[in-house]
Amino acid sequence: MLSSLPPREREIVDILYARGASTVSEIGDALPDPLSGSAIRAMLKRLEAKGFVAREQSERGFVYAPSVPEKAASKSALSQVVRVFFNGSATSAAAALLGMQDDMSASELDELEKLIADAREGRAQ
């Protein structure tokens, strides 16, 4: 899904997820490297045609927002990472995450335990 986008287009979509609906100039201000307004508009037009961005008229002019919910985009990206780097094994991916436990807080580890318990409970029903 999002991983199929060229880097600059992906950067624009990421900005829209982080900032919410934005104008071309607001997107330009958020980009780390300057880009002309016409270049940003051209990328937004391509993103709109691909179904990643929606455009709406507002008092500020055209405002752009992601049309794919962030959760769905994240799930799609994670699925691709699991498929490519962990041979499709969610268990291997989870084990790799748990291998980073030194970087995780106690509350993050507690949250993982809760998610696993919830997943088990969902399977039992």
Tell me if 75 is assigned to some domain: no
* pLDDT at residue 2 in the model: 67
* pLDDT at residue 105 in the model: 85
Tell me the per-residue pLDDT of 20-63, one tens digit each, with 9 for 90 and over: 999 999 999 999 998 999 999 999 999 999 889 999 998 888 99
Specify whether 61 is located in the same domain as 16.
yes
Specify whether 55 is located in the same domain as 107.
no
The CATH number that applies at residue 26 is 1.10.10.10
pTM of structure: 0.62
Give phi and psi for 23, each to the nearest 5: -85, 170
The residue segments making up the domain with residue 15 are: 2-66
Tell me if 76 is assigned to some domain: no
Tell me if 81 is assigned to some domain: no
Tell me if 57 is assigned to some domain: yes
Specify whether 45 is located in the same domain as 8.
yes
Overall number of domains in the chain: 2
Cα–Cα distances (Å) from 108 to 8, 13, 72, 105, 120, in that order, read 32, 27, 22, 5, 19
Tell me if 82 is assigned to some domain: no
* pLDDT at residue 104 in the model: 79
Tell me the per-residue pLDDT of 57-113, one tens digit each, with 9 for 90 and over: 988 889 999 987 777 666 766 777 788 888 888 888 888 877 876 777 889 888 888
Specify whether 47 is located in the same domain as 100.
no
Q: Which whole number is the average pLDDT over 10-15?
A: 91
* pLDDT at residue 77 in the model: 67
What are the tokens at 35? Answer: 């880009």
Tell me if 56 is assigned to some domain: yes
